[in-house]
Amino acid sequence: MTQFSSYVAIGDSFTEGLNDMLPDGSFRGWADRLAEILARGRDDFRYANLAIRGKVLAEIMNEQLPVALDIKPDLVTVCAGGNDIIVPGTDVDEVAKEFEKGIAKLREAGIEVLIFTGPDTKGLSVMSILRSKVGIYNAHLWAIADRHGAKVVDLWAMDVLHDPRAWSDDRLHFTSEGHRRIALRAAEVLGVPTESDWREPWPDNPEPTNWLTLRRSDLEWTKTHLLPWIRRHIRGESMGDGILPKRPQLTPLVTSTTSTPKSVADRAVSERSRSA
């Protein structure tokens, strides 16, 4: 049995769970997976996920944070600011100051807080230009955690996320396997035992790098993901407009039923069985 009987997740698309898709078209994600881990052995466990894709820091702190404070759960996870710092010209220091105000309120309320650094984008074509801004923001996050006694999931230090198979085609969100490993890492930081290890090596990838294919992929990504994002930003729109939180209230957790195997190795066995 874990020490947490209630958990609220706030944030943007990362916490909502894009692109860890369930058979019904909804998203699972690391937060749902972490909740499932925390719920083991507890009949009284309750969980809410207020995160909505596209939300910027101010929206998260003004709309989601007050709800979390009213609920006052044992644990709140916070990942916010990523949609702010990717905008050209954004002052990362100012974003960090606003982030700290929210963390301070949660800690003053006696709530355990878990925050997330940004991942290292060095290996992501085109997105690597954000690496310095992410690094500066991460330094702020570590300092904020130290000042307020929050725990940190260091995505930057997770070498397994450097593998392209951890990332979706949009280069912004993680695959199901990426989410699974992040949930395991979060549980480890919280001191909660898990059945698997997030450090598990990826299977060998026999596909060599094809630079021509990569360049074509960059062009396709720009057309499919980057340009629509720029157009939305210019119009003041968000991909989360009209989207409601998937778990707006603190309710008992019903474990997601999914055919996704527990690990890469399990998936390989499953695929071999289907092809046999």
pLDDT of 274 over the 70 cut = no
Give residue-wise pLDDT tens across range 21-45.
999 999 999 999 999 999 999 999 9
Per-residue confidence (pLDDT) for residue 74, from 0 to 100: 98
Residue 271, pLDDT score = 36
| Assigned CATH topology for domain 6-275 | Rossmann fold (3.40.50)
Q: What is the pLDDT of residue 270?
A: 37
Cis peptide before 83 (omega within 30 of 0): no
When pLDDT is cut at 50, 70 and 90, the band that residue 258 belongs to is very low
Q: What is the mean pLDDT of the chain?
A: 86
Q: What is the mean pLDDT of residues 48-68?
A: 97
In DSSP notation, 73-133 reads -SEEEEE--HHHHTSTT--HHHHHHHHHHHHHHHHHTT-EEEEEPPPP-TTSTTGGGGHHH
**Band of residue 260 on the pLDDT scale cut at 50, 70, 90:** very low
Task: Tell me if 69 sits within 8 A of 109, measured CB to CB.
Answer: yes
Query: Structure tokens of 86?
Result: 């990717």
Q: Please report, for the chain, the start and end positions of each structural domain, with discontinuous segments joined by +.
A: 6-275
Q: CA 204 to CA 191: how far, in whole Å?
A: 30
Look at residue 242 in the predicted model and tell me its pLDDT.
87
What is the pLDDT at residue 214?
A: 46
> Would you state the pLDDT for residue 264?
44
pLDDT tens profile 103-140: 999 999 999 999 999 999 887 766 788 899 999 999 99
Is the pTM above the cut of 0.75? yes
Strand-pair partners of 11: 79
Say whether pLDDT at 187 is over 80: yes
Whether 231 has a pLDDT exceeding 80, the answer reads no
Is it the case that residue 243 has pLDDT exceeding 50? yes
The strands making up 112-116's β-sheet, listed across from edge to edge, are 151-153, 112-116, 75-79, 6-11, 46-49, 247-252
- 6 vs 233: which has the higher pLDDT: 6
Q: How many helices (H) and strands (E) does the chain have?
A: 11, 6
pLDDT band at 254 (very low <50, low <70, confident <90, very high): confident
Band of the pLDDT at 241, cuts 50, 70, 90?
confident
| Residue 156 predicted with pLDDT over 50 | yes
Residue 207 has pLDDT above 80, yes or no: no
